[in-house]
A = this chain, B = another copy of it.
Amino acid sequence: MKRISIKDIAREAGVVPSTVSAVLNGKSKQMRISDALSEKIRAIATRLGYQPNSTAVSLRTGKTNVIGLIVEDISNTFFATLAKFIQDEAYSMGYKVVFCSTENSDEKGIELIRMLLQSQVDGFLITPTNGMHAEVAKLQALKKPVVFMDRFIEELEKVPYAIVDNYNGVINGMDHLYEKGYNTIAFLSVELEQVQMKQREQAYFNSIAKNKKGPPLLFRIPYDLPTGESVQRIQDFLQANPGIDALFCATNYLGLKGLESIKSLGLSIPNDMAIVCFDDHDIFRLYDPGITSVQQPIESIATTATQLLLKMINKKELEPQEMINLKSASLIVRAST
């Protein structure tokens, strides 16, 4: 059972391969091939079960219809979900997706970019780390389309990205709390030099200032502390600032999922204290009935990024405002019961 090629069809139809190619690519009109002949060729193709060999097509056209997806770790729910939506979008447009994980290693990221480049992917979807800077710059020099997701590299201004809107996400969350009547909102952050964290903290400060609720109560804990230690520090912080009636977590690295998980961590908070988590990595953490505002940024990040990339691949001009694409933040709000 040998795979049949365009030649086989041509022989069967008594024409030359290029005619078959034209018909099968819907160029019968331009080539002024008669409808009768076109129909005959198509019939033969389906009868023989013709499947074009896409490596041949790729070699000839320079397009593989494959996009490369580089994430930190595909087994992580966030990236896996991202991958799912990307895949859906890509397949619906006739593209395949090859994925790989960097394991947060710059060298591995660079190696993977090279590898995907060599296999001629049409474009890249990347959750970048700063270490990828130079390699991505090379991709740009080669005019390979790249879109960042979830994060971006500040120096690479020409690379479009789809991320959650850190600044406005926090502003919205703060507004929500003020509306609910909370007045002394503390901001719990993590000692990380990430753009995201800076943006979120900045939004907190600005919100406090704008609403004249100062002074700000920012508390930072190291990223790599054991959970128990983190909980202890938060506890101490709350103790030292008894006026606090709401806690805004800049990230959900403690894995808060509602009252139950807060208790199981051993964190004791007043019954009427509100807790809000800025959580862009997990859309499934909906336990409490008090949640008021939830969006699904993963889906919009994935879909937006993929669409952007496919436009670039197909040489469509991007609208200027498409170059930087901010998406709303997801927000998990637990109102006091």
Contacts and interface: CB of A to CB of B under 8 A. Distances in A.
A212 interface: no
A325 to B, nearest CB: 22
Most interface-central of A73, A84, A100 (chain B CB within 10 A):
A84
A115 B96 contact: yes
A36 interface: no
A34 interface: no
A297 to B, nearest CB: 15
Interface stretch (A51-59, A214-222, A246-254): A51-59
Interface in A45-88: 51-56, 58-59, 64-66, 73-77, 79-81, 83-84, 87
Most interface-central of A1, A54, A64, A91 (chain B CB within 10 A):
A54
Interface stretch (A116-124, A157-165, A288-296): A116-124
Interface residues on A, range: 35 or more
A198 interface: no
A75 B80 contact: yes
Given A87-B101, A98-B96, A99-B83, A120 B75 contact: no
A54 B98 contact: no
A97 interface: yes
A98 B73 CA distance: 15
B77 A84 contact: no
Contacts of A260: 264
A315 interface: no
A62 to B, nearest CB: 9
Contacts of A83: 74-75, 80, 99
A51 B117 contact: yes
A101 B84 contact: yes
Contacts of A115: 91, 96
A119 B81 contact: no
A31 interface: no
22 contacts: A1-B141, A51-B114, A52-B118, A53-B120, A55-B120, A74-B80, A74-B84, A75-B81, A77-B80, A80-B80, A80-B83, A87-B99, A87-B100, A91-B100, A96-B115, A96-B116, A96-B119, A97-B100, A98-B98, A98-B99, A99-B99, A260-B264
Interface of A: 1, 3, 51-56, 58-59, 64-66, 73-77, 79-81, 83-84, 87, 91, 96-101, 114-120, 141-143, 260, 264
